[in-house]
Amino acid sequence: MTPSDTPIDAWRGDFGDDYVARNRATEETMGNAARAFTEILSHVKDNPPASILEVGANIGINLRALAGITNAELFAVEPNAHARERLVADEVVPPDRLFDAVATKLPLDDGAVDLVFTSGVLIHVPPEDLETAYGGIHRVAARYVLSLEYFSQTPVSIPYRGHEGLLFKRDFGGMWLDLFPEIEPVANGFFWRRTTGLDDLNWWLFRKP
């Protein structure tokens, strides 16, 4: 990563390739994700999403887990080419439901997918682009939006793998309500690393009225 790289250049380049190489879709990581999404989706079991889009899916640990616990049609947006190759090679999503794109420019129609979510992705969107990213996710989601991200009451930037400007924490749930006051909080929670194996992630699920 060079000093002139934007965060998206980094994720599309060697920095993102290294992440793909480190990432593992094992029984353990997929089991952790399956338990987490089972809990989240239990809050909408009377009206489950028929289609789900993950924005920033990487190699698809969450989507692989979702394939085991729902019948929803799965979609992915992912800017890193090696990650997309894995998603296709492992048949996590078919090529026509996989998009080379970013959260700030989603190439899907309004209301195209029932539930749109990010997991550890909004934390990597530069603060000046966040409102656009939220707007796109809200536009594409027909019924639900879900964020699993790192929480901080006050927005902070923290070094990530030795780089500045690549990781930001804030109240991502509160930002949904600030930008779209009409959406309804369905449930929220915290996946504590000690008991879930996940990365100390806060999550917020909202319904569009």
Contact between 137 and ligand SAM by CB under 6 A: the answer reads no
Question: Least CB distance from residue 105 to ligand SAM, whole Å?
Answer: 9
Sequence-separated (6 or more) residues with CB below 8 Å from residue 110: 139, 140
Nearest CB to ligand SAM, comparing residues 12 and 46: 12
Within positions 10 to 49, which residues make up the interface with ligand SAM, using CB under 6 A? Answer: 11, 16
Tell me the C-alpha distance between 57 and 47, whole Å.
Answer: 24
The residue count for the chain? 209
Contact between 203 and ligand SAM by CB under 6 A: the answer reads no
* Number of residues forming the site for ligand SAM (CB under 6 A): 21
Contact between 116 and ligand SAM by CB under 6 A: the answer reads no
Nearest CB to ligand SAM, comparing residues 44 and 57: 57
Which of 55, 66, 113, 166 binds ligand SAM (CB under 6 A)? It is 55
Task: Give the strand order in the sheet containing 201-207.
Answer: 98-99, 73-77, 51-55, 113-119, 141-149, 201-207, 184-191
E strands, 10-155, are: 51-55, 73-77, 98-99, 113-119, 141-149
Q: What is the chain's percent helix, strand, coil content, to nearest 5?
A: 40, 25, 35
CB of 78 within 8 A of CB of 43? no
Contact between 168 and ligand SAM by CB under 6 A: the answer reads no
Nearest CB to ligand SAM, comparing residues 21 and 47: 21
Question: Least CB distance from residue 46 to ligand SAM, whole Å?
Answer: 26
Judged by CB under 6 A, which stretch of 54-62, 68-76, 89-97, 154-162 contacts ligand SAM?
A: 54-62
Tell me the C-alpha distance between 79 and 86, whole Å.
Answer: 13
CB of 101 within 8 A of CB of 77? yes
Nearest CB to ligand SAM, comparing residues 79 and 173: 79
- Residues making contact with ligand SAM (CB under 6 A): 8, 11, 16, 55-58, 61-62, 77-80, 83, 102-103, 119-121, 124-125
